[in-house]
């Protein structure tokens, strides 16, 4: 079972949307577990302050290394330790698969202008970004990361096959999907999908995935071509 520990100043934000749908059901079924640690509990002053002004000046506040350090020391035992950060390695389906194979994950959620650099160095923390934009906090980012990981855990998705054809699994985006009614607003579902020819449908979908990727994500298409030629 994947055990997740989240260090945050907003523990009440968890499990958040992870408590719904497939990830919520998996949580109930103990396919994964989440513990939150309130970083504020490790502040020693009467105001419970976790942040201070940046050395060298500039806007905003920085999370203090002493408070966060104590929270880590008291709660981290083993496994990968991740700080959600716009400077991190971009979250990818590959990384999600990697993390889904772990037993323990510790995730630090930043607030304000982020955390003191020395904490990142001291605990060998990996930085992971969910994209090139800035959020107000790591809590939202951590839930997105965890959502992508949890749905890959064994038995979380009903049908294991639904994973294989998904976007990014083979450096390709997913082919277009249709359901009933067969005709809607004068538009029909492509005949091939109604033909019952399993092999022809498979070939059509593969070609559609290739065409879609080439058109919508030329950067990804290049990686697909390279992976085929290597």
Least distance in Å: CB of 85 to ligand SAH? 5
- φ, ψ of residue 46 to 5 degrees: the values are -70, -20
Residue nearest to ligand SAH (CB): 110
Neighbours of 140 (CB within 10 A): 16
Q: Of 55 and 134, which CB lies nearer to ligand SAH in the complex structure? A: 134
Burial track 92-122 (b if 16+ CB lie within 10 A, e otherwise): ebebbeebbeeeebbbbbbbbebbbeebbee
Q: Of 15 and 138, which CB lies nearer to ligand SAH in the complex structure? A: 138
Structure tokens at 93: 């389906």
Least distance in Å: CB of 6 to ligand SAH? 12
Residues that bind ligand SAH (CB under 6 A): 84-87, 109-111, 113-114, 129-131, 133-135, 137-138, 141
Q: Of 6 and 141, which CB lies nearer to ligand SAH in the complex structure? A: 141
Q: Of 65 and 138, which CB lies nearer to ligand SAH in the complex structure? A: 138
Least distance in Å: CB of 225 to ligand SAH? 29
Q: Of 93 and 212, which CB lies nearer to ligand SAH in the complex structure? A: 93
- φ, ψ of residue 228 to 5 degrees: the values are -75, -35
Query: Which three-class secondary structure state does DSSP give residue 225?
Result: helix
Least distance in Å: CB of 67 to ligand SAH? 14
Q: Judge if the upstream peptide bond of residue 15 is cis by omega within 30 degrees of 0.
A: yes
Least distance in Å: CB of 103 to ligand SAH? 23
Task: Report yes or no: 113 and 54 within 8 Å, Cβ to Cβ.
Answer: yes
């Amino acid at each position: 079972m994947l055990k997740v520990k989240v260090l945050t100043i907003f523990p009440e934000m968890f499990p958040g949307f992870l408590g719904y749908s497939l990830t919520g059901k998996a949580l109930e079924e103990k396919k994964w577990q989440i513990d939150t640690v309130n970083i504020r509990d490790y502040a020693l002053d009467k105001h419970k302050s976790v942040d201070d002004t940046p050395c060298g000046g500039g806007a905003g506040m920085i999370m203090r290394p002493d408070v966060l350090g104590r929270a880590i020391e008291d709660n981290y035992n083993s496994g990968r330790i991740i700080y959600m950060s716009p400077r991190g390695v971009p979250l990818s389906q590959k990384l999600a698969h990697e993390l889904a194979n772990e037993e323990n994950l510790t995730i630090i959620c930043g607030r304000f202008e982020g955390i003191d650099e020395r904490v990142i160095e001291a605990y060998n923390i990996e930085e992971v970004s969910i994209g090139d934009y800035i959020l107000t906090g790591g809590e939202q980012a951590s839930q997105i990361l965890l959502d992508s990981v949890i749905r890959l855990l064994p038995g979380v998705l009903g049908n294991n096959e639904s994973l294989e054809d998904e976007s990014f699994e083979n450096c390709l985006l997913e082919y277009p999907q249709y359901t009933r009614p067969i005709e809607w607003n004068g538009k029909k579902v492509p005949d091939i999908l109604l033909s019952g020819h399993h092999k022809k449908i498979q070939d059509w979908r593969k070609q559609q995935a290739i065409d879609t990727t080439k058109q919508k994500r030329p950067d990804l298409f290049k990686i697909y071509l390279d992976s085929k030629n290597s």
